[in-house]
Structure 1
Amino acid sequence: MRRKMVVGNWKMNGSIATNKVLLDGLVAGVHGYDNSDYVVCVPYPYLCQAQQLLQDTNVAWGGQNLCSTKNGALTGAVAPHMLTDYGCTHVLIGHSERRSQFHETDDTAAARFLAAQQAGITPIFCMGETAEERESDWTDYIVGRQLDSLIRRFGANVLDNAVLAYEPLWAVGTGKPATPEQAQEVHAFIRDRIAKLDYEVAASVRILYGGSVTGANAEQLFEMPDIDGGLIGRASLKAEDFVPICRAAHATATRCLATAKP
């Protein structure tokens, strides 16, 4: 059975003072909620603080991107080992904002994905379509192309040590999330596409949903059979918003475990 997972993406937000309030509240809020996994992906300057506040808790931490090159004359870049030096276990790869605003491509995302795995970091690979692409019925093509940028290069088994995230751009930050049924449809498409190559990998890989998830709608989303948790942006910036989403994942996982018992 796949464990539920909630990942907070702080994006370009935070300060030493506000981070402490958030992380202290998060640790207290999910203490003992051990049927799911919780991660925060923080800006690079705050990795040391995250490590200090989160070590020995049930909350992991990670980066928001990395460079596929190990070292060299690349001013402003961050190498994989620099994340592992601060205890990072996860890193976001191919986020829509990186693709749209920083012109990252399927090719560069695939290179970073592999570099993360080679460094022992679990990549959280993001996929999703714009409103225009959805209205043109291109969702399967866009998401399939982004997924194929990995499995055509490396094979489906590369997803054994990865997490996938479906983030429809038309739902991100809009307050208008995909319905549970809309999200489930795309998640099922992703899982079925992988299953055609490797059924076991498809059954085990976790696929998160991201896009205006709140404490009010999280359980409905997480109860869908192919939605394994959430990649949370705005609602991850305050413990009072983020903790209810984490608890929703735990509650859903607990019910699934109870149902699965003989």
Structure 2
Amino acid sequence: MLAHFPEVIWDLPEGQASLWRYRYHEWGAEQFAASFADQIGRWCAGSGIALTGHMMEEPTLSSQTNALGDAMRSYRSMQIPGIDMLCDWEEFNTAKQAQSAARQFGAPGVLSELYGVTGWHFDFNGHKRQGDWQAALGVLFRVHHLSWYCMRGEAKRDYPASISYQSPWYKEYKAVEDHFARVGAVLSRGKALCRVAVIHPIESYWLCAGPLDTSAAERARREERFTHLTEWLLHGLIDSGCRECAARPVGDARRGRADCPALGGFEAGRGTGLGMSAVPVRGPG
């Protein structure tokens, strides 16, 4: 490995993909998942409790690569995969990753810590709107940010406003939670039928994670296409699931169907796998 370590940092000539760069990121991602989530998940399973929570830096391919290698890899050991949705952002890939893992591993749903950093102006409409799109993407367990234990010190400067007795409207919040209780009751019945698989591009992204002066454009292109693909499927009302392909990369980093058991199993269940170099664009009319 040491002889090839420069390939982790610098690019090979003529745009060649580095097998050793892939192996470096693969090793780091697997070691993190095995040492943290896998270990705690086994203890929780043996103790009759559920491991849940969220990983750091979930949203983008770049943030995952830098912080933990691969967010979905840690979800395999969570009895309830979780996410964190700050501000009033719409991170569809963040939710889709966790929803996909929950479906694949038979979890009852996805947990979300939501509403944090939205602001004191965030009203019931905002609470419902953010909760609705997350529920549509599998979030059935809601962890509200926040309810104060007390208003001492900096606690009173957190936001949004406390969803508890410190706020004059807290008794009216029942209207929001009754809505999500009903939505959750419906969504927790039955089993999702998903016929479209998207091979998650995190491992392909590792291959272009070189110096920013040479890789920034390619990194941005892959981020954009992953985001646009997810949005295209969602806005087209096509349910899909992210699948991670544990295939061994070859010299040109291309992967075949035979190398990906997850995709083979999905197709055996009459699903459809899609691969594309660019997201389709709707024409006039």
Q: TM-score range by the shorter chain?
A: 0.3 to 0.5
Larger radius of gyration: 2
Q: TM-score under structure 1 normalisation?
A: 0.39
Structure 2-normalised TM-score? 0.36
More strand by share: 1
Higher RCO (CA-CA < 8 Å; seq separation 6+): 1
